[in-house]
Amino acid sequence: MDWLRLYDGFERYLPTEDDPVFATARVLDRFAQRRGERVIASDIVKVLEQQPFMHWHAQWVDARGRSVGVRWRPLGEPPIPFAEFARQMPPGAFELRAQRLAPMHVDSQAFRNWLIAGYLRFVLPRRNIPT
């Protein structure tokens, strides 16, 4: 959930089937159905990397369609400061253009590191480990 909060609000620019929360829930549900099978974090990461929302990019554009500012990177820049850019400009001066591109919006290794760090920080300490 810590990772998904970075997409908060972005779902309104995506088709419903690409909503990050719903897509991630479907992935986790598939793994939860594997009762008795060993599932490792890297397996989940590989499937998440294939989700359509990982290929959506966002960019502010001016009235002529020219890119303004930097492209939004969810792991490097939360959406709120990214959205603040537009609030500082005259209404209608810029619009957010979201588009699906072939490359992921984030480096694959950075994505894996982010999720594994979250696992180590939040999940592992809460597991009951036999002594």
Report the C-alpha gap between 107 and 14 in whole angstroms: 21
Residue of 38, 36, 79 whose CA lies nearest to 60: 79
| Domain that includes residue 82, residue range | 4-126
pLDDT for position 107: 75
Residue 45 lies in a domain: yes
Considering the domain boundaries, does residue 46 fall inside one?
yes
> Over the chain, what is the mean pLDDT?
77
Contacts of 29 (CB under 8 A, 6+ apart): none
Q: Is residue 79 part of a domain?
A: yes
C-alpha 14/C-alpha 51 separation (Å) is 13
Residue 131 lies in a domain: no
pLDDT of 111 reads: 78
pLDDT at residue 129 greater than cutoff 60: no
In a domain, 109, yes or no: yes
Question: What pTM does this model have?
Answer: 0.69
Residue 62 β-bridge partners = 94
Per-residue HEC secondary structure of 61-111 comes to EECCCCEECCCCCCCCCCHHHHHHHHHCCCCCCEEEEEEECCCCCCCHHHH
Please state the domain count of the chain.
1
pLDDT band of residue 26 (cuts 50, 70, 90) is very high
Average pLDDT over residues 66-95: 69
Assess whether pLDDT exceeds 70 at residue 75: no
